């Protein structure tokens, strides 16, 4: 716990992990790009972040950002919207084997999203054996009630609460609702993320700090806040093994991806035709 020079305790982001941020490039307007968001997160003391885009896999983007911004781990994933073929097992396989850490079910192209928002492709303010994480359960979609949040946690999923849900631009839930859910489910089963990158919200690292500080000041203990922004996402990303060398099977699979299917294996010279 840090202390503000102007008085009062401050939640520190040292070692924090943001599992959900939205940088540019994107079809929606964004506040900052991959590199700017990674730099800000690193400078805030964060350990890792996961880039999310509704319109493409972020795995290759994360790889390049990781090479350019030392001092923080950067991961990507894939959202199963129409831009990658919808519920596409091949897209999932490729994303995970190339180092992706998250697979999100359809967002802006989901049927329930269309019912709530009047169509696919945008939001109200924007147009355009493992544990599972249930993304922003109090957002307008899926807008789960507290009993359902408790039930999905009992079944092994982890509710992932985002600053975006409580932000002034969205106001889909009050911070007190997040605090009540954490108290009911338990911090060991919950995650806090930024879910930002939009122009009307703070940078993801600052949004996560504000969110963590807010739930702390609303009654969640410092230990529980650290659990939700550091320990739980650290475990989900399996960061202890993140630097392990690729397995032979992954190298073989990547080699096949890079092989030119139009080039057949070399064969011997074609024998000359024999006279009839």
Mean pLDDT of 93-114: 82
Summarised one tens digit per residue, pLDDT across range 133-192 is 999 999 998 999 999 999 999 999 999 999 999 999 999 999 999 999 999 999 999 999
Range of the domain at 108: 16-128+131-241
Percent of the chain with pLDDT over 70: 79
The answer as to whether 271 is a domain residue is no
Supply the DSSP string of 124-149, one letter for each residue: TTB------EEE-TTSTTT---HHHH
Q: Please determine, for residue 63, whether its predicted confidence score (pLDDT) is greater than 50.
A: yes
Q: Is residue 8 situated within a structural domain?
A: no
Q: Count of CB atoms within 10 A of residue 102's CB?
A: 22
254 occurs within a structural domain: no
d(CA 135, CA 77): 14
- The whole-angstrom separation of Cα 218 and Cα 268 is 76
Whether 163 and 196 have beta carbons less than 8 Å apart is answered as: yes
* CATH code for the domain in which residue 46 is found: 3.20.20.140
Q: What is the pLDDT of residues 187-234, one digit of tens each?
A: 999 999 999 999 999 999 999 999 999 999 999 999 999 999 999 999
What pTM does this model have?
Answer: 0.80
Question: Is residue 273 situated within a structural domain?
Answer: no
Task: Specify if 6 maps to a domain.
Answer: no
Mean pLDDT of the chain: 87
pLDDT in tens, 245-256: 656 766 676 566
Residue 125's pLDDT is 44
CA 64 to chain centre: 17
In a domain, 7, yes or no: no
Neighbouring residues of 239: CB distance < 8 A, sequence distance ≥ 6: 17, 47, 48, 73
**Domain annotation covers residue 226:** yes
Burial class (CB in 10 A: 0-12, 13-18, 19+), 103: middle
Rounded CA gap, 140 and 114, in Å?
12
The verdict on residue 263 lying in a domain is no
Residue showing tokens 């009630």: 145
Number of folded domains that form the chain = 1
CB 157 within 8 A of CB 205: no
User: Does the structure show a pLDDT above 50 at 34?
Assistant: yes
Give dist(CA 195, CA 210) in Å, integer: 13
> Are 52 and 23 within 8 A, CB to CB?
no
Q: What is the arithmetic mean of pLDDT over 72-98?
A: 95
């Amino acid at each position: 716990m840090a202390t503000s020079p102007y008085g009062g305790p401050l939640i520190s982001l040292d070692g924090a992990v943001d599992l959900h941020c939205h940088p540019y490039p994107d079809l929606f307007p964004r506040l900052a790009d991959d590199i700017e968001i990674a730099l800000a997160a690193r400078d805030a003391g964060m350990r890792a972040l996961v880039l999310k885009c509704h319109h493409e896999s972020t795995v290759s983007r994360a790889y390049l950002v990781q090479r350019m911004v030392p001092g923080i781990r950067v991961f990507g994933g894939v959202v199963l919207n129409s831009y990658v073929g919808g519920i596409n097992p091949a897209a999932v396989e490729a994303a995970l084997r190339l180092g992706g850490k998250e697979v999100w079910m359809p967002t802006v192209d989901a049927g329930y999203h269309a019912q709530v928002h009047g169509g696919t492709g945008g939001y109200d303010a924007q147009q355009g054996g493992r544990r599972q994480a249930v993304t922003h359960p109090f957002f307008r979609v899926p807008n789960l009630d507290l009993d359902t949040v408790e039930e999905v946690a009992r079944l092994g999923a982890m509710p992932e609460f985002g600053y975006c849900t409580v932000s002034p631009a969205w106001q889909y839930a009050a911070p007190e609702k997040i605090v009540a859910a954490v108290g009911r489910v338990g911090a060991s089963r919950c995650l806090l993320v930024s879910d930002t990158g939009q122009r009307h919200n703070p940078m993801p690292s600052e949004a996560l700090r504000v969110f963590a500080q807010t739930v702390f000041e609303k009654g969640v203990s410092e230990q529980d806040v650290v659990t939700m922004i550091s320990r739980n996402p650290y475990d989900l990303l399996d960061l202890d093994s993140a630097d392990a060398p690729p397995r032979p099977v992954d190298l073989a699979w990547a080699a096949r991806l890079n092989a030119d299917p139009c080039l057949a294996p070399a064969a011997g010279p074609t024998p000359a035709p024999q006279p009839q």
